[in-house]
Amino acid sequence: KFYQHATTEASQATLASVSPVFAVMKLDKEGNTTYFEKKKTELYQELGLQARDLRFQHLMSIATRNNRIIMRMEFLKAVITPEFLLILDYRNLNLEHWLFNELASQLAGEGQLVTYSLPFEFRAIEAILQYRISKLQGRLNTLQPQILETLEALVDPKLLSVDRSKLHILLQNGKSLSELETDLKVFKETILEILDEEELIEELCLSKWTDPQVFEESTSGIDHAEEMELLLENYYRQAEDLANEARELRVLIDDSESIIFINLDSHRNVMMRLNLQLTMGTFSLSLFGLIGVAFGMNLESSLEEDPRIFWLVTGIMFLGSGLIWRRLLSFLGRHLEPPLPPHVPAVLKKSQPAAGRVEIRSNLKAETFGLSRSTLTNQ
């Protein structure tokens, strides 16, 4: 027994010595900031949490445990209590500007957050959600002009070929857009899971169960759970708007791919038609060139003595070849002409302007690149 007890103490000491150390930024209600380092074991014991609560995964998460809110937003790891906010592993280039210049003033109620009159956890949650939304908005604002500029260069009908460098840029932007859509989907799903459960919304209101004044306000008619629900719904709608904009960009990329294929097919058809015309011309010359071949044989006749026969035979060859080539071109033109449009009755002609307006409205996206679908169809 003594040996087992000594072994257990030694293993615990070893685990404590190798346990990760968090660089912690602590912000209180007044916006005062302190910095310190603490081991993971000491930190979760001090906060009354379990070790798994500080085992942050890469996915976004919002959870409550022992009157504490544990949030993970990409690189941001935070623990919210009714009195203070802890930012773990804050030494990140993507976080420094926001942490040192904006977060403290937002928590102190000096910013433009709408929760300045509500308990501290409301301000902390809104500050973190606002940071995450602003990051997603910034990524979308960076991608949108790049994608529009690349698509505008690719769908130009005057180009006979597609610039591969532009296609490479579009591929990279498409991957970034897919990652943005995934992050927006995860953000929306995380918020929606909380909105679907009233108990989770109640658990996010920490001061309601610890501060008697806040509890009295809740019982007197100021429903903090409803305020928390409105707060989460606001950022859910913002994420939904960003997802709609990203979806519109995805639709533009898909439509532009169709336009590029139409342009390439059009140029390919022109080259095939030219090749066919040259083939018919070669066939015509070869057909009447047999006359020259026949006269060029080493056979004696009375025609080679007349100097006018050469010009006569040469003229017949070129004239016959030209007639045959013209005949083949007219045959090709008759079979490649588009069919005539069907006759439109007078009753349907009255509703045509409305349909035209619908078509114009549906083609606004394509007109952004200086080319509409109807123009491409005619080409």
> pLDDT tens digits, residue range 182-226?
999 999 999 999 999 888 888 888 887 776 666 666 555 567 788
CA distance 63 to 78: 11
CA distance 295 to 331: 31
What is the mean pLDDT of the segment spanning 259-274? 78
Domains and CATH numbers, the chain: 16-111 (2.40.128.330), 119-266 (1.20.58.340)
Of the listed ranges 125-139, 196-210, 253-267, 302-316, the least confidently predicted one is 302-316
Closest CA to 211 of 114, 120, 113: 120
Q: What is the pLDDT of residues 317-374, one digit of tens each?
A: 778 777 877 777 776 666 555 555 555 454 434 444 444 443 434 443 444 444 444 4
Predicted pLDDT at 108: 75
* Percentage of the chain modeled with pLDDT above 90: 18
Predicted pLDDT at 181: 93
The answer to whether 132 and 142 have CB atoms below 8 angstroms apart is no
pLDDT at position 305 over 60: yes
Predicted pLDDT at 180: 93
Of the listed ranges 3-7, 162-166, 204-208, 212-216, the least confidently predicted one is 3-7
pLDDT at position 122 over 50: yes
Q: Residue-wise over 252-280: b if at least 16 C-beta within 10 A, else e?
A: bbebbeebbebbeeeeeeeeeeeeeeeeb
The single residue listed with the structure tokens 């707060």 is 231
Q: What is the pLDDT of residues 31-69, one digit of tens each?
A: 788 888 888 888 888 888 888 878 776 678 888 888 899
